[in-house]
Amino acid sequence: MAELTPDLDDYCGVVSARRGDDVLGEWALGLADRTSEAANTVETRFGLASGTKTFTALSVLSLVGKGVLSLETAARDVLGEDLPLIADDVTIDHLLTHTSGIGDYLDEELDDLAPLSLPVQVLDSTPAYLPLLDGFPTKFAAGERFSYCNSGYVVLAVIAERVSGTPFAEFVTRTVFEPAGMSASTFPRSDLLPVGTATGYKDDGRTNVFELPVLGSGDGGAHSTVGDLHRFWLALLGGRIVPPDLVALLIESVTPDTGDGIGYGRGVWHDAGDLVIAGSDHGVTAVSRHDVATGTTVTGLANIRVPTFARTRSLMAAARDVGGDA
């Protein structure tokens, strides 16, 4: 088998290439915790930041499959009087596809690392995000164009929690993590990280504990491992999380080019022929890409901000060349 040689310069985390039950290559670098000098390992759990959105989308689609929601359901039908600046014609599908036009509490078109307007410690449940989401005027009419929106996915979490009657993190665990066999994946509190979880570090060496919500919601906060993410892709495409018709909705290329040739479905990116989960924030970098044709997953998880998207693309191209010799 050809040797895979990923670009690991300045990396702190884990890079993995897997196909089916085979590990094509895995590399663990740097420290998960600098105080205790605990090293990153292939079993280390990392924050996924916006990679969480894929699980949010799947959870909402599971409710569509049960007939509790539809893609055409208006967000207002569930929100009631909350978040009055969200237009009445914004639907579940607009939120899933980042075409809602609602105002964003963290508008990445302006600053993807802007400080939050509320103390992070008060954000300890999905309902606690409502004041954070309020007061942002509409950017454009629903359905007009693609514009990446963090608020939209927290609104989806609010809707999923209200409709299911289950706290959002618990609902994702039951709906996605458990059927996929993702036993290491969770939504931990940032001030109570489980053993084996990497601490995120900012460029100045401080941890990210004062930068991110204490408990994640629909737009971020899930933690996972390279192994769990490979299991996720196989379970998803094998129909073990939601039925094939809902998988097709998730991965459908709704916006073929959101910029730089990268497309978007409903919670999943499309790049260079791969399905992609991606996220980045203070002390967090996460990219997991899957090639459906070969069943190959390439994942890069880091507890620093480090270029990873293009590196995983290059590693996937090399992994494809390995072909059936793996």
Segment 100-138, tens digit of pLDDT: 999 999 887 777 677 888 999 999 999 999 999 999 999
Rounded Cα distance, 294 and 273, in Å: 11
List, by residue number, the catalytic residues: 50
Q: Quick one: CA dihedral 310, 314, 316, 317, positive or negative? A: positive
Please give the average per-residue pLDDT across 159-187, as a whole number: 98
pLDDT of residue 323: 59
Tell me, what's the pLDDT at 326?
37
Q: How confident is the model at residue 307 (pLDDT cuts 50, 70, 90)?
A: very high
pLDDT at residue 1 greater than cutoff 50 = no
The answer as to whether 110 is a domain residue is yes
> Considering its fold, how many domains does the chain have in total?
1
Q: Quick one: pLDDT band at residue 173, thresholds 50, 70, 90?
A: very high
Name the one residue in this structure whose structure tokens are 């053993």: 195
- Please compute the mean of the pLDDT values over residues 226-250 and round it to a whole number: 98
> What percentage of the chain exceeds 70 in pLDDT?
98
Q: Is residue 1 part of a domain?
A: no
Residue 3 lies in a domain: no
311 strand-pairing partners: none
Distance CA 317, CA 289 (A): 11
pLDDT in tens, 66-108: 999 999 999 999 999 999 999 999 999 999 999 999 999 988 7
Strands 296-302, 13-19: parallel, antiparallel or unpaired by DSSP? Answer: antiparallel
- Give the three-class secondary structure for 226: helix
CATH number at residue 218: 3.40.710.10
Tokens in use for 130?
Answer: 């409502």
Distance CA 86, CA 102 (A): 6
Contact 273, 291 (CB under 8 A): yes
Task: Report the distance separating Cα 153 and Cα 157, nearest Å.
Answer: 6
Asked whether residue 180 is assigned to any structural domain, the reply reads yes
Residue 47 domain-assigned (yes or no) = yes
Q: Which domain holds residue 277?
A: 13-325
CB 98 within 8 A of CB 179: no
Spatial CB neighbours of 209, under 8 Å, sequence gap ≥ 6: 120, 190, 191
**Tokens at 240, concatenated:** 């073990």
Write the pLDDT tens digit of every residue in 47-58: 999 999 999 999
130: in domain: yes
Is 176 a member of any domain?
Answer: yes
Residue 193 CA: distances (Å) to CA of 56, 59, 198, 211, 282: 21, 24, 8, 15, 16
Other C-beta atoms closer than 10 Å to the C-beta of 35 total: 8
Does residue 140 lie within any of the structural domains? yes
